[in-house]
Structures are given as structure tokens and as C-alpha cells.
């Protein structure tokens, strides 16, 4: 590719992003009044089928009366395995996407993304296709005074164009995009959460001193939105400093709601999950106006499968995601029952095989529901 071809490719990217902005219509699903809610279960690959099968058992018990009455429908969606995606050369095969579009919310197991090559991450493709712009990840360590909620922008930044970079002789260029509408809606989601949950502090995390256009725009628009929430204190942090500050007892306790662009949010929430007890304990919500997807934040753990230790995958991540799903569809009582059962479950799961298996943990949990 020469420079002229690179410029043409870049022009196409800009036109696509303009079209994406025009498609942000803001029409929301009202789960409080929806007659039937369809929950899609996508098992993924690696340890995905192991942990999602146990989460499905839990949801089926919690929602049994509503499933029987038709108020809730659970749909099992197959085909989002790495083998099928590679064979079809699509991050989400067409039949899988058609099934996803028939659901209201999705509980998704981890999926493998190949290193290199052109196959895009299934997560990135799903977030874009369903316009799941808000990635919400709670981290709570009560004994350390930690109660954080991260709002990571999910459809922009480096990720939306991460597989669309340009390679020229002797160099490679990737792209990052920040839009006014995309930033405004994630900022609004974060401040609305803070207002509705009694939070008084929002931290905006960027690298705006270096990435002056994209991160500068993100910071400026977040502060514009903040003006509509006069009771909430807003502070700016650079991503490198915030990464350190989350590790500082006496300082980290003040953080409440943390608002970030896509890439920084991915990195920082994994650090936060490690503080909580590991990525195996953390789930996340991917929220859009029409659809929502809930998942464990970790990957598919192929090394565990290769070692024959998949049965020791910790299901608490996907179960935490299930709690978020239940709250999103206005099943707060069921969400609370699951949270309380997880808090009191006497079993633990360890990837080294020294404790309970994934299924044994779920069996114990079901007796508490």
C-alpha cells in the first residue's frame, strides 16, 4: 500500500464513522413494562461453556416461575466458537448474529481472539453491531473501603478501528476515534448512575495531555455533561497516575464512579478486578439503548483447557454478570437472592484444582437460592 492508497482507506474509515454517528437514535427498551424478555445464552469457547452452563442452571432456578409463565424466555445460541468464526472468516457468523438480534439481553461466555491476522474480536464486533456503548464494571472490597463503578466507553477509541490500521513500507499506523455523541452518552450514563445511587464523586481518566484531540475532546465533553449534575464533584486524572492511585490505601477509598475511554477502561478494570480478588471474580455489563450483553471480564483460558483443568474455572465472574443482567431487566429481587447466595456460599474454586470444581460450586449455590 502506498500513501495515496492509505489516504483513500482513511477516507473510507471517516465516512463509516460519520454514518455510525447518524445511526445513534437513542430509543431505549423499557424492561419494566416489556411483556416478555428474551435472554440469549452464548457459551463461547475455552472455559466459556463450562462457566455459562452453570450460570444457566442458576438463572433457570431463579426465574423458573417467569419462564413457566412466558414472561422470560431463555434462548441458547451456539456457534460463537473460535473454530466456527475462523471457518466462516467472520467475528460473528451471520446465523449467530441473527439469533442475537432476536434477544433483549445476552449472557456471554468468553471467546478467543487470535493473535494477529484479520479476524476481529467477537466482543468488539458485538458491541459495535448492537451499539453497546457503556461497559459497566463494579469492583467492591468492603473491608478495604473500595466501592467502585467503572464506566468505560465501549464502541469508540482504538478498539472500533483496531483491525483497520494501515501498513506501509517501514511503518504501521492504527487509528483512534472519539465522537461528540459517543462521548456524551457514556458521560451521561456515568453521571446518571452517580445521581441515582447517591454517589458524589466522578473521576474522568484520559491521557489528554498527550492525545490532545481525542482524549482532549473526551475530557471536555464529560465536563460539559457534568454541569447538569451540580451536586457531583468531578476530577481529572491521567491514566498512568490513576493506575498507581488505585493501589494507594488512604487515597483509593475516595474513588466512586470512574469514567474512561475504551482502551484505558479495559486496562484499568482488570487491575481493579485483581485488587478485588482476580479477574475470575469480576463481571461486566455492556449496555446499549436497545440491547445489552453481560459477560465475565476474563478470557477463554486456553491454557487451563490444555492442562485439563477446565472444570476448575471459577464461575463467579459470569455469575456476577448474571446479577447485573437481572438488575438490568428489572428483576432486582432475583439479583439480590443471587448476590446473597454467592456471599454465603462456603465453597471456593481455584484454577490449580485445590478447591471445588465449577459445578460443585454451582451445586452448593443452588441449595442457597
Beta bridge partners of 177: 157
Within-domain flag for 283:
no
Tell me, yes or no, whether 164 lies in a domain: no
299 has pLDDT over 90: no
pLDDT top residue among 165 and 256: 256
Reported as a pLDDT band with limits 50, 70 and 90, residue 113 is confident
Query: Looking at residue 278, what is its pLDDT?
Result: 82
Task: Decide if 152 is inside a domain.
Answer: no
Average pLDDT, the chain: 94
Instruction: Say which residue, 247 or 27, is predicted with more confidence.
Output: 247
Orientation angle between helical segments 214-226 and 180-196, nearest 10 degrees: 40
pLDDT for residue 256:
98
Report how many domains make up the chain: 1
> What per-residue confidence (pLDDT) applies to 214?
97
For the stretch 173-216, pLDDT in tens is 999 999 999 999 999 999 999 999 999 999 999 999 999 999 99
Residue 355 lies in a domain: yes
Whole-number pLDDT of residue 230: 95
In a domain, 13, yes or no: no
Q: Which domain holds residue 112?
A: 31-132+288-369
Taking 90 as the threshold, does the pLDDT of residue 1 lie above it? no
Least confident of 113-122, 198-207, 293-302: 113-122
The pLDDT tens digits for 52-79 are 999 999 999 999 999 999 999 999 999 9
277: pLDDT strictly greater than 90: no
**How much is the pTM?**
0.85
Mean pLDDT across 232-246 = 98
* Predicted pLDDT at 212: 97
Q: Place 282 in a pLDDT band, splitting at 50, 70 and 90.
A: confident
Q: Torsion angle, CA of 302/304/305/307, rounded to 10 degrees? A: 120
H-type helices in 145-179, by residue range?
157-160
358: pLDDT strictly greater than 80: yes
Q: Do the beta carbons of residue 309 and residue 345 sit within 8 Å?
A: no
CA 42 to each of CA 48, 290, 348: distance values in angstroms, whole numbers, following the listed order: 8, 18, 25
Instruction: Tell me the pLDDT band of 121, cut-offs 50, 70 and 90.
Output: confident
Domain membership flag for residue 148: no
3-state secondary structure of 167: strand
Average pLDDT over residues 121-129: 89
Question: Quick check: is 280 in a domain?
Answer: no
DSSP state of 246: T
pLDDT attached to residue 120: 85
Residue 198 confidence (pLDDT): 95
The answer on pLDDT for 283 being more than 90 is no
Distances (CA, A) of 331 to 63, 272, 299: 9, 27, 27
What pLDDT shows up at residue 160?
A: 81
* 12 belongs to a structural domain: no
| CATH for 362 | 3.40.718.10
Q: What is the model's pLDDT at position 363?
A: 98
Q: Which of 262, 345, 267, 351 is nearest to 306 (CA)?
A: 351
Q: Is the pLDDT of residue 25 over 90?
A: no
Amino acid at each position: 500500500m502506498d500513501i495515496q492508497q492509505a489516504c483513500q482507506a482513511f477516507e473510507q474509515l471517516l465516512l463509516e464513522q460519520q454514518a455510525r454517528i447518524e445511526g445513534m437514535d437513542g430509543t431505549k427498551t423499557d424492561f419494566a413494562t416489556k411483556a416478555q424478555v428474551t435472554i440469549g445464552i452464548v457459551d463461547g469457547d475455552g472455559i466459556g461453556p463450562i462457566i455459562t452452563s452453570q450460570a444457566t442452571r442458576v438463572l433457570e432456578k431463579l426465574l423458573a416461575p417467569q419462564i413457566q409463565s412466558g414472561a422470560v424466555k431463555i434462548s441458547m445460541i451456539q456457534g460463537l466458537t473460535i473454530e466456527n468464526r475462523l471457518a466462516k472468516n467472520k467475528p460473528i457468523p451471520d446465523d449467530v448474529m441473527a439469533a442475537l438480534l432476536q434477544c433483549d439481553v445476552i449472557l456471554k461466555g468468553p471467546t478467543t481472539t487470535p493473535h494477529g491476522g484479520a479476524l476481529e474480536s467477537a466482543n468488539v464486533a458485538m458491541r459495535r453491531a448492537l451499539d453497546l456503548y457503556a461497559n459497566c464494571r463494579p469492583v467492591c472490597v468492603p473491608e478495604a473501603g473500595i466501592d467502585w463503578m467503572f464506566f468505560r466507553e465501549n464502541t469508540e477509541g482504538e478498539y472500533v478501528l483496531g483491525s483497520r490500521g494501515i501498513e506501509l513500507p517501514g511503518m504501521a499506523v492504527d487509528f483512534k476515534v472519539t465522537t461528540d455523541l459517543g462521548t456524551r452518552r457514556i458521560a451521561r450514563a456515568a453521571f446518571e448512575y452517580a445521581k441515582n445511587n447517591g454517589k458524589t464523586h466522578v473521576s474522568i481518566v484520559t491521557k489528554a495531555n498527550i492525545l490532545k484531540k481525542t482524549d482532549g475532546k473526551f475530557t471536555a465533553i464529560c465536563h460539559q455533561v457534568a454541569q447538569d449534575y451540580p451536586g457531583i464533584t468531578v476530577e481529572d486524572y491521567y491514566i498512568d497516575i490513576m493506575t498507581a492511585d488505585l493501589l494507594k490505601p488512604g487515597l483509593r477509598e475516595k474513588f466512586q464512579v470512574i469514567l474512561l475511554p475504551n482502551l484505558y477502561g479495559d486496562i484499568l478494570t482488570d487491575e481493579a478486578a485483581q485488587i478485588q480478588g482476580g479477574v475470575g471474580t469480576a463481571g461486566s455489563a455492556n449496555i446499549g439503548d436497545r440491547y445489552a450483553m453481560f459477560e465475565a471480564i476474563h478470557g477463554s483460558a486456553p491454557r487451563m483447557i490444555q492442562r485439563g483443568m477446565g472444570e476448575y474455572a471459577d464461575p463467579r465472574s459470569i455469575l456476577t454478570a448474571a446479577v447485573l443482567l437481572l438488575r438490568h431487566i428489572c428483576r432486582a429481587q432475583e439479583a439480590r437472592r443471587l448476590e446473597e447466595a454467592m456471599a454465603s456460599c462456603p465453597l471456593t474454586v481455584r484454577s490449580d484444582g485445590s478447591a471445588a470444581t465449577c459445578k460443585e460450586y454451582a451445586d452448593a449455590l443452588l441449595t442457597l437460592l
